[in-house]
């Protein structure tokens, strides 16, 4: 069955789904549009800044790359990413592989509070099995390994992973239920280090640096382990409308302009439409600055637009944005010297000077930003001790130290001069220490 037309629903309360509008495949199959329904235009809210409540077909941005189709606005966050697409190809095996099929077969437990249905009158999502329980994780890990190897699955194996195996991201993962709550579980994938344990250690270290991180726990398996991350877009049975940083930045970018995918631009959005209550918008922007500095110093260069998220608070009233807990925070162990997200005036360069260069975008004076940097450095200096306490092996610590305590990053920690920013002197551009002369 070809799915040229589908329908979007809002599922904050799954017992009372609300129809949002019609989805349509456009731009020669490279995008998906949205046309709000009458009732949603009358009583709903704009799903993102670029999706106003108007009676017309809203089209995806014109910046469509050949290898990455986009759905319009916040709808794009409802689609699976590379791993989810692989699960759909192997498990659901749709006859056609357009963005519409991926949106539909992603199922009912996708990111945020949006759902996709074949009907505009009743919410009829792609049928899915109940989520696996904690006791089924070992079996689930074996099924995920077969998918990673592109091996065929039995009907029972497909049923086990079909419930929540089509989430975003590139690495093997699935959804499970622990004590009535949904957790995302990520498995070891043959990397040279114990990535699940290193991620758990890094996330808990980030908490010491004043960063609000998603709750994690380790799940022991036969001969290895997995990391479970509690979903932050769920509160009990309630689903929270959420958008990725990429969606927020694209939505805030003027038509025809190229979006600046980076920390400063995301901070400006938080300061403009962040949650005002208790000046949370200021605290969120400042925390985003700490996250940027932490990622630079821990060699987490995989900090792309999908690895930052925002919660939409009271969407029917004001749609203010709240910085979601940090996730996917771990060393990439690459030493590449640049971040996926723009950090400052020197673009993507992984330097503290670059991080400091646009501190005003985060609502920080140079002296305040320097104090934040110094505090993060103090925590990162304890990374080996913390990783050891968390159970990371000496071998893995030695492997990671090649980058984290390598010349480029360690020298930045050692030689950062907080005092030079007290009088806010004029900044002068320097070259990145990662760039070879």
Per-residue pLDDT, averaged over 49-56, amounts to 97
Identify the band that residue 62 occupies on the pLDDT scale cut at 50, 70 and 90: low
* Contact (CB, 8 A) for 60 and 31: yes
In this structure, the strands spanning 224-230 and 70-71 are: unpaired
Identify the band that residue 274 occupies on the pLDDT scale cut at 50, 70 and 90: very high
134-235: in CATH 3.40.50.2000: no
In this structure, the strands spanning 309-313 and 320-323 are: antiparallel
Q: Find the helix packing angle between 383-390 and 195-208, rounded to 10°.
A: 130
* Contact (CB, 8 A) for 26 and 35: no
- The domain spans of the chain are 5-117, 134-235, 240-421
**Would you state the pLDDT for residue 41?**
98
Interval 298-309: pLDDT, tens: 999 999 999 999
Integer-rounded Cα Rg, in Å, for the chain is 22
Identify the band that residue 64 occupies on the pLDDT scale cut at 50, 70 and 90: very low
Q: Find the helix packing angle between 366-380 and 280-297, rounded to 10°.
A: 50
240-421: in CATH 1.20.950.20: no
Identify the band that residue 159 occupies on the pLDDT scale cut at 50, 70 and 90: confident
In this structure, the strands spanning 5-10 and 181-187 are: unpaired
**Would you state the pLDDT for residue 66?**
44
Q: Which residue has the higher pLDDT, 147 or 214?
A: 214
What distance in Å separates the CA atoms of residue 106 and residue 175, rounded to the nearest whole number?
12
Residues linked to residue 34 through DSSP beta bridges, in sequence order: 23, 58
Interval 256-270: pLDDT, tens: 889 999 999 999 999
Q: For the chain, give the number of residues.
A: 437
Nearest to residue 173, comparing CAs of 235, 163, 396, 391? 163
How far is C-alpha 295 from the chain's CA centre?
14
What distance in Å separates the CA atoms of residue 349 and residue 301, rounded to the nearest whole number?
10
Of the ranges 129-138, 169-178, 244-253, which one carries the lowest mean pLDDT score? 169-178
Residues linked to residue 229 through DSSP beta bridges, in sequence order: 184, 216
Interval 12-31: pLDDT, tens: 999 999 999 999 998 777 79
* Contact (CB, 8 A) for 321 and 270: yes
Identify the band that residue 65 occupies on the pLDDT scale cut at 50, 70 and 90: very low
Identify the band that residue 165 occupies on the pLDDT scale cut at 50, 70 and 90: low
Whether 294 shows a pLDDT value over 80: the answer reads yes
376: part of which helix (H) or strand (E)? helix 366-380
Distances in whole angstroms, Cα of residue 148 to Cα of each of 68, 92, 334: 21, 15, 23
- The DSSP code sequence of 288-318 is HHHHHHHHHHTT-----GGG-EEEEESTTTT
Same fold, 134-235 and 240-421: no
Q: Find the helix packing angle between 195-208 and 366-380, rounded to 10°.
A: 140
Q: The pTM is what?
A: 0.93
**Would you state the pLDDT for residue 171?**
79
* Contact (CB, 8 A) for 184 and 231: yes
Q: Which residue has the higher pLDDT, 323 or 188?
A: 323
Per-residue pLDDT, averaged over 238-253, amounts to 96
Phi, psi dihedral angles at 250 (to 5 degrees): -60, -40
């Amino acid at each position: 069955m070809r799915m040229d037309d589908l329908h979007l629903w809002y599922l904050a309360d799954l017992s009372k789904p609300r129809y949002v509008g019609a989805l349509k495949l456009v731009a020669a199959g490279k995008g998906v549009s949205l046309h709000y329904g009458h009732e949603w235009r009358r009583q709903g809210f704009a799903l993102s800044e670029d999706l106003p409540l108007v009676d017309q077909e809203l089209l995806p941005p014109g910046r469509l790359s050949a290898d990455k189709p986009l759905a319009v606005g916040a709808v794009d966050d409802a689609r699976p990413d590379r791993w989810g697409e692989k699960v759909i190809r192997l498990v659901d095996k749709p006859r056609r592989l357009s963005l519409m099929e991926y949106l539909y077969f992603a199922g009912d437990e996708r990111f945020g509070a949006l759902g996709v249905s074949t009907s505009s009158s009743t919410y009829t999502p792609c049928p899915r099995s109940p989520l696996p329980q904690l006791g089924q994780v070992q079996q689930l890990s074996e099924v995920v390994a077969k998918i990673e190897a592109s091996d065929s699955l039995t009907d029972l194996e497909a049923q086990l992973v079909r419930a929540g195996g089509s989430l975003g991201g590139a690495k093997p993962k699935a959804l499970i239920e622990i004590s009535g709550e949904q957790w995302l579980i990520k498995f070891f994938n043959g990397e040279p280090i114990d990535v699940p344990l290193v991620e758990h250690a890094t996330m808990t270290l980030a908490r010491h640096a004043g960063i609000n991180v998603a709750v994690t726990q380790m799940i022991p398996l036969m001969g290895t382990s997995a990391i479970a991350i509690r979903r932050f877009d769920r509160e009990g049975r309630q689903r929270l409308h959420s958008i990725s940083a990429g969606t927020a930045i694209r939505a805030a970018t003027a038509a025809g302009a190229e979006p600046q995918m980076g920390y400063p631009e995301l901070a400006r959005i938080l300061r403009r439409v962040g949650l005002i209550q208790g000046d949370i918008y200021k605290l969120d922007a400042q925390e985003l600055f700490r996250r940027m500095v932490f990622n630079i110093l821990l060699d987490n260069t995989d900090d792309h637009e999908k690895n930052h998220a925002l919660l939409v608070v009271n969407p029917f009233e004001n749609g203010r944005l709240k910085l979601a807990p940090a996730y996917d925070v771990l060393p990439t162990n690459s030493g590449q010297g640049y971040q996926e997200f723009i950090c400052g005036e020197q673009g993507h360069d992984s330097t503290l000077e670059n991080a400091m260069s646009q501190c005003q975008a985060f609502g920080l004076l140079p002296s305040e930003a320097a104090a934040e940097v110094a505090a993060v450095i103090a925590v990162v200096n304890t990374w080996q001790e913390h990783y050891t306490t968390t159970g990371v092996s000496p071998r893995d610590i030695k492997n990671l130290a090649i980058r984290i305590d390598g010349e480029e990053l360690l020298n930045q920690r050692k030689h950062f001069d907080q005092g030079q920013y007290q009088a806010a002197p004029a900044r002068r551009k320097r070259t990145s220490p990662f760039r070879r002369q």
